[in-house]
Amino acid sequence: MNDVAFEQPNLVIAENNELNRSLGPVSLIMMGIGAIIGAGILVIAGTAAAEHAGPAVIISFVIAGLGCLFAGLCYAEFASMIPESGSAYTYAYATMGRFMAWFIGWNMVLEYLVSSSTVSVGWSGYLVSFLENLGYTFPAALANAPVTGTGFHELHLTGAIINLPAVLLIVFLTVFLVVGVSESARFNALMVMIKTGIVILVIAFGLPHVHAANLHPFIPPNAGSFGKFGVTGILAASGLIFFAYIGFEAVSVAAQESKNPRRDLPIGILGSLAVCTVLYMGMALVLTGITDWRTLDVPNPVSFALGRIASLQWMVLPINIGAMVGLASVVFMGLYGQSRIFYCMARDGFLPPAFSAVHKRFKTPHRGTIITGAFAALLAAIFPLDILADLVSIGTLLAFVAVCAGIMILRRTTPNAKRPFKTPWVWFVAPAGIVTCGLMMFSLADGTWVRLVVWTAIGLVIYYLYGVWHAAPSKWKVANES
């Protein structure tokens, strides 16, 4: 196959697998917000404050947001140059070759597939609590993981049968994704408006109840170990709540379904990131300012904090509803992103062709979507949230580092290539992205690195048994303008 320059507007590698271009900048921003706002701000922010940073979790959000901003600017340049689905996988393929493309794509599975399972388990917990508030008791054996333990060690059975609500959520959203991206985007937009409205409501009604005494000391003194308050606690919290930002780059996997990807993708990426960062900082201020931050290590910190103020107790029910909607939209975007990553990898020969088959009527990669949903449902049915969550952040941070490195490579190898969007101050932004994301990676627990090594080893086995024998030769080059 001949090389194809990225400047060409008709860059479609698999002509028979063309997806339906139906997404504009507003839809992309909504998809980005839908992927970002979820378990991070609704669940993990409380734990980060109570266990690591105290009120200074606001600074942790800034650090994590800066890392995403630096990476997002690099993503935006890549997305404008390379209007192809695949996100960091495609960008690594274009700049660092087949092996690195596989390595990054395989680790992105940790972000999309496993995060979908993780958040669906959190959604199940909110649903059970919501039903209990209405007077209904959901059988515990059908709403909990049958396996639990510390990480992958000391696993044991709990006596539960299956986490049925989590499975049913994934099945329902998988059906939506198979039917079509336009219908899915409208459904996602509705979910985004509901949960964003809830977040704004919490900030608006919660700010008047913020007391300075609850924010003192703003940076609690270190408790004697790394990551337990103090400066190291702020850094550890930033690595933990980085989960709250996972998803903005999911916009870039929609390149082949965007009406004008060179213009719309940068708008979608940076717009969704900016909106969510402002909302996160406001929510963090409210959470730590209206109650004692030491009490926030609970599954529902937002409704818990507001429920302790008599005049705000009316908000608990709508907050729980908004939380369920918010978590559902994150699961939706995770399944969407993973099916598109598999689509691209199969199109390039790294995975079997079933993952790139496009439905004749719906114009969606239906088989890959169904397979993705089946694996996500299986994980959600068996494992608890803590085991699944341990697998997510490090794969995403690694992808961000690769994107920042890749943009510097392209600036050297093809300085005159057409760049509809150029990363400003690239020789500061890209290295800063690598350093910031690298620091967050090293702040994660040792067990996370062990699981990354194990996951990578499994990926290498698949690559050398299948991918290396079926992958197409490098198809692309980013050409300088003549």
DSSP 145: -
What is the C-alpha separation between 264 and 29, in angstroms, rounded? 9
Q: Is 8 a domain residue?
A: no
Q: What is the mean pLDDT of residues 430-452?
A: 84
What is the C-alpha separation between 373 and 300, in angstroms, rounded? 26
Q: Is 240 a domain residue?
A: yes
Q: Is 2 a domain residue?
A: no
**SS3 at position 4:** strand
Q: C-alpha angle 369/370/373, rounded to 5°?
A: 85
Q: Is 12 a domain residue?
A: no
Number of compact structural domains in the chain: 1
Backbone angles phi, psi at 429, to 5 degrees: -65, -50
pLDDT at position 27? 77
Q: Is 25 a domain residue?
A: no
pLDDT at residue 101 above 90?
no
Q: C-alpha angle 161/164/169, rounded to 5°?
A: 160
Q: Is 241 a domain residue?
A: yes
Residue 361: which H helix or E strand, with range? none
What is the C-alpha separation between 451 and 404, in angstroms, rounded? 24
Give the residue from 376, 13, 443, 320 showing the smallest Cα distance to 177: 376
Give the residue from 335, 53, 296 showing the smallest Cα distance to 167: 335
Per-residue pLDDT of 303-324, as tens digits, reads 788 888 888 888 888 887 888 8
pLDDT at position 464? 92
Which sign, positive or negative, has the C-alpha torsion 165, 167, 172, 173? Answer: positive
The answer to whether 100 touches 459, Cβ cutoff 8 Å, is no
Domain of 216: which CATH number? 1.20.1740.10
Per-residue pLDDT of 184-201, as tens digits, reads 566 667 777 787 888 888
Residue-range definition of the domain harbouring residue 364: 41-477
Q: What is the mean pLDDT of residues 28-56?
A: 79
pLDDT at position 1? 35
Listed ranges 113-122, 207-216, 472-481; the one with the highest mean pLDDT: 207-216
What is the C-alpha separation between 66 and 76, in angstroms, rounded? 15
406 or 451: which leads in pLDDT: 406
In the chain, % of residues over pLDDT 90:
9
The answer to whether 302 touches 202, Cβ cutoff 8 Å, is yes
What is the C-alpha separation between 158 and 148, in angstroms, rounded? 7
Q: Is 304 a domain residue?
A: yes
What is the C-alpha separation between 368 and 380, in angstroms, rounded? 18
Q: Is 20 a domain residue?
A: no
245 or 207: which leads in pLDDT: 207
Average pLDDT, the chain: 79
**SS3 at position 348:** coil
Alpha-carbon radius of gyration of the chain: 22
Specify the range with the lowest mean pLDDT, choosing from 7-16, 92-101, 462-471.
7-16
pLDDT at position 389? 65
